[in-house]
């Protein structure tokens, strides 16, 4: 297993996206210029490369222990090394880096969490799910809870002394949260919650003394469906350190992320406190869900990167067959390194070109989130928020679909060796597969894009994105040095416009047309967005002699010639409509 944090690519993206002016130019973040930011991220990189990385395989093999007869009830024991590792991560300031200084945080921009998060996920995805979810819980408490709750819980969560979770799913409801049955009965200054939650990541563990659960439940007078759900803060331990009545009822046995505890959580009159307004729990929870969805997309990117690095290392060392070009043959060997073979290059370039584009898009979206929250100009905040809202389902779905595919292609580079446990690629594939499912399946992300984001604010979200791309095209239409990127981007924008018009016309007449085309439409917009990122990278790098700039031009050229054409296929699939999908009767299957 090998991994080196992509520090140089991070630096490249910050420069290409003009981070120092756009984000560090905001008064709140003036101390976090790109140099300062990268010094923080580089330290986190060293910590993960030197201390966390080799725990990934150990955690996968060792797994978790569920103990039914613990001193205070059922317990979950994480792999032996995890407690020491968590203490090191906690001491680094990683957990609360982006939290306000008043609660002990670093006050860094959200962009920091994306850069540092990619490194942590690549080093040990299962381990970092705990701190990652905790960040979303802190953000939700910060935005929606009372001052009393914030003062009581955020300092210890920010320091990493306590961890947070998100408790949504129940046995009868996953996607359809309107079916939630858990109850919250008011009593004195709190509520008593009863019910069962399933698939709760880090619902119980031994890394922190306290775990702060954010739980969706219904009050006795709540209306039916989604409009009757409220959000509650339910701590594992109460103020007097006594155990609250929320317990782990068991662990799921999973394909991957085997050292991440996926828990059944039982609540029996557990004490909880309302977060936000009653019956507006989904509004509050979406703060955490949107944060989690971006982080899940980031998991796809991180696993693509580490898979690529391992496949590349193998391809440079493994010798098989001769190059068909005599000048490329190794005269001191009977075979050549497999990286000389075009089909191996195809797989490596597929992974490299998509990973770098996805990373750029994710960092750009993180910067938009920083603008949406902290820029002084309301118009800038609104436009940035629109961009982030549009891209969240795209990053979550496309980057995880592609992340799994990239892990598969990287494994394929190793041939039979990749299928064995001697190499880490098989674990990466098992681990990354869940990303296409949790925090809303990728099909649900596509429905969110087509059903909500396209129509939100009279279509403003997509229109603003189209205007941004069109502005870039207008400014660079005569730039001959990047014409090979401008024309593909223009074609991409036209395909998005045509498919969007088709959806608006045919989807409104027959909603099944929109639903049947949703996933293809998401892939279309994703590839368009990535083409836009490559066009911006080309403009930034053209004419520069440093190796990274020449590398970007070559990688981007591969993308627009070999990957971007998939976009036309998705456009045709969108406009094919539903008939071939829906005409068959159920009995005919």
pLDDT tens, position by position, for the chain (589 residues)? Answer: 789 999 999 999 999 999 999 999 999 999 999 999 999 999 999 999 999 999 999 999 999 999 999 999 999 999 999 999 999 999 999 999 999 999 999 999 999 999 999 999 999 999 999 999 999 999 999 999 999 999 999 999 999 999 999 999 999 998 888 899 999 999 999 999 999 999 999 999 999 999 999 999 999 999 999 999 999 999 999 999 999 999 999 999 999 999 999 999 999 999 999 999 999 999 998 888 999 999 999 999 999 999 999 999 999 999 999 989 988 998 889 999 999 999 999 999 999 999 999 999 999 999 999 999 999 999 999 999 999 999 999 999 999 999 999 999 999 999 999 999 999 999 999 999 999 999 999 999 999 999 999 999 999 999 999 999 999 999 999 999 999 999 999 999 999 999 999 999 999 899 999 999 999 999 999 999 999 999 999 999 999 999 999 999 999 999 999 999 999 999 999 999 999 999 999 999 9
pLDDT of residue 48: 98
Please give the pLDDT value at position 174.
83
Nearest-angstrom CA–CA distance, 454 and 451: 7
Structure tokens at 52: 């966390």
CB atoms within 10 A of CB 232: 26
Q: Distance (Å, rounded) from C-alpha 421 to C-alpha 544? A: 42
Backbone φ, ψ for residue 95 (5° rounding): -60, -45
Strands (E), 262-346: 262-275
Q: How many CA atoms lie within 13 A of 177 on its CB side?
A: 26
DSSP states along 514-566: HHHHHHHHHHHHHHHHHHHHHHHHHHHHTT--SHHHHHHHHHHHHIIIIITTH
Residue 496 CA to residue 567 CA, distance in Å, equals: 9
What is the rounded distance in angstroms from the CA atom of residue 130 to the CA atom of residue 203? 9
**Helix axes 281-317 and 425-432, enclosed angle (nearest 10):** 160
At 335, list the tokens.
Answer: 């075979």
Q: Which two tokens stand for residue 433?
A: 């597969």
Q: How far apart are the first and last CA of the chain?
A: 44
Burial 263-283 (b: 16+ CB within 10 A, else e): bbbbbeebbbbbbbebbbbbe
* Domains by residue range for the chain, with CATH: 442-582 (1.20.120)
C-alpha 429: how far from chain center: 16
Give 166's strand partners.
Answer: 214
Of 75, 439, 490, 585, which is the active-site residue? 439
495 is catalytic: no
- Asked if 482 contacts 542 with a C-beta cutoff of 8 angstroms, the reply is yes
Helix orientation angle between 511-541 and 7-16, rounded to the nearest 10 degrees: 90
**Alpha-carbon span 233 to 212, nearest angstrom:** 7
Q: What is the distance between the alpha carbons of residues 214 and 246, in angstroms, rounded to a whole number? A: 12
Angle formed by the axes of helices 547-558 and 511-541, to 10°? 150
CA distances from 120 to 55, 114, 125, 157, 275 (A): 12, 10, 7, 19, 30
- Residue 515, both tokens: 């639903």
Q: How far, rounded to the nearest angstrom, does the alpha carbon of residue 375 sit from its chain's CA centroid?
A: 24
Q: How far apart are CA 245 and CA 265, in angstroms?
A: 10
Q: Which residue has the tokens 């009372």?
A: 146
Q: Is 142 helix (H, G, I), strand (E, B) or coil?
A: helix
The C-alpha torsion from 374 through 453 and 10 to 545, rounded to 10°, is: -110
Pairing of strands 65-67, 75-77: antiparallel
DSSP code per residue over 146-205: -HHHHHHHHHHHHHTSEEEEEE--BTTBSS-GGG---EEEEETTEEEEEEEEEEEETSS-
What value does the CA radius of gyration of the chain take, rounded to a whole number of Å? 24
Residue 268 gets which letter from DSSP? E
**How many helices and strands, by DSSP H and E, does the chain display?**
19, 9
The SS3 assignment for 4 reads coil
Closest of 470, 464, 472 to residue 536, by C-alpha:
472
């Amino acid at each position: 297993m090998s991994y080196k944090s992509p520090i140089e690519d991070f630096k490249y993206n910050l420069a290409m996206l003009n981070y120092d002016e756009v984000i560090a130019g905001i008064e709140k973040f003036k101390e976090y210029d790109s140099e300062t930011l990268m010094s923080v991220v580089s330290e986190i990189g060293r910590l993960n490369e030197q201390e966390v990385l080799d725990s990934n395989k150990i955690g996968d093999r060792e797994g978790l222990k569920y103990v039914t007869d613990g001193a205070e009830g059922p317990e979950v024991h994480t792999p032996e090394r995890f407690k020491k590792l968590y203490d090191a991560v906690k001491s680094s300031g990683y957990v609360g880096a982006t939290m306000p200084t008043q609660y002990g945080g670093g006050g860094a921009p959200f962009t920091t969490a994306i850069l540092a998060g990619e490194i942590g996920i690549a080093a040990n995805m299962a381990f970092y799910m705990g701190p990652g979810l905790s960040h979303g819980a802190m953000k939700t408490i910060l935005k929606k809870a009372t001052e009393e709750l914030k003062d009581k819980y955020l300092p210890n969560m920010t320091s990493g002394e306590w961890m947070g979770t998100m408790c949504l799913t129940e046995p009868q409801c996953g996607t359809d949260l309107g079916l939630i049955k858990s109850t919250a009965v008011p009593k004195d200054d709190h509520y008593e919650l009863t019910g069962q939650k399933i698939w709760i990541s880090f619902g119980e563990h031994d890394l922190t003394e306290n775990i702060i659960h954010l739980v969706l439940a219904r009050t006795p007078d709540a209306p039916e469906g989604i409009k009757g759900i409220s959000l509650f803060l339910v701590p594992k331990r109460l103020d007097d350190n006594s155990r609250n009545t929320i317990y782990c009822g068991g662990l799921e046995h999973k394909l991957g992320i085997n050292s991440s505890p996926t828990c059944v959580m039982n609540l029996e009159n557990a004490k909880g406190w309302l977060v936000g307004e009653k019956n507006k729990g989904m509004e509050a929870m979406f703060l955490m869900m949107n944060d989690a969805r971006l982080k899940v997309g980031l998991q796809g990117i991180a696993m693509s990167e580490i898979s690529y690095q391992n496949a590349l290392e193998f391809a440079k060392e493994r010798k098989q067959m001769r190059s068909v070009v005599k000048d490329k043959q190794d005269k001191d060997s009977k075979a050549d390194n497999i990286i000389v073979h075009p089909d191996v290059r195809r797989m490596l370039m597929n992974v490299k070109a998509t990973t770098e584009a996805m990373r750029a898009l994710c960092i750009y979206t993180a910067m938009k989130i920083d603008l949406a929250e902290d820029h002084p100009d309301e118009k800038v905040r609104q436009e940035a928020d629109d961009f982030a809202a549009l891209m969240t389902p795209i990053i979550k779905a496309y980057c995880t679909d592609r992340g799994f595919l990239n892990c598969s292609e990287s494994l394929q580079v190793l041939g039979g060796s990749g299928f064995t446990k001697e190499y880490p690629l098989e674990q990466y594939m098992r681990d990354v597969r869940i990303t296409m499912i949790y925090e809303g399946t990728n099909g649900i992300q596509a429905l969110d894009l087509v059903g909500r984001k396209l129509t939100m604010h009279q279509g403003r979200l997509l229109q603003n994105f189209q205007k941004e791309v069109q502005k870039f095209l207008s400014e660079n239409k005569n730039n001959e040095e990047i014409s090979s990127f401008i024309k593909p981007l223009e074609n991409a924008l036209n395909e998005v416009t045509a498919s969007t018009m088709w959806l608006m016309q045919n989807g409104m007449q027959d909603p099944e047309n929109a639903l049947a085309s949703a996933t293809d439409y998401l892939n279309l917009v994703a590839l368009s967005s990535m083409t836009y990122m490559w066009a911006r990278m080309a403009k930034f790098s053209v004419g520069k002699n440093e190796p990274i700039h020449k590398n970007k031009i070559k990688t981007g050229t591969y993308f627009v010639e070999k990957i971007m054409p998939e976009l036309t296929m998705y456009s045709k699939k969108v406009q094919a409509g539903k008939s071939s999908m829906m005409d068959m009767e159920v009995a005919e299957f």
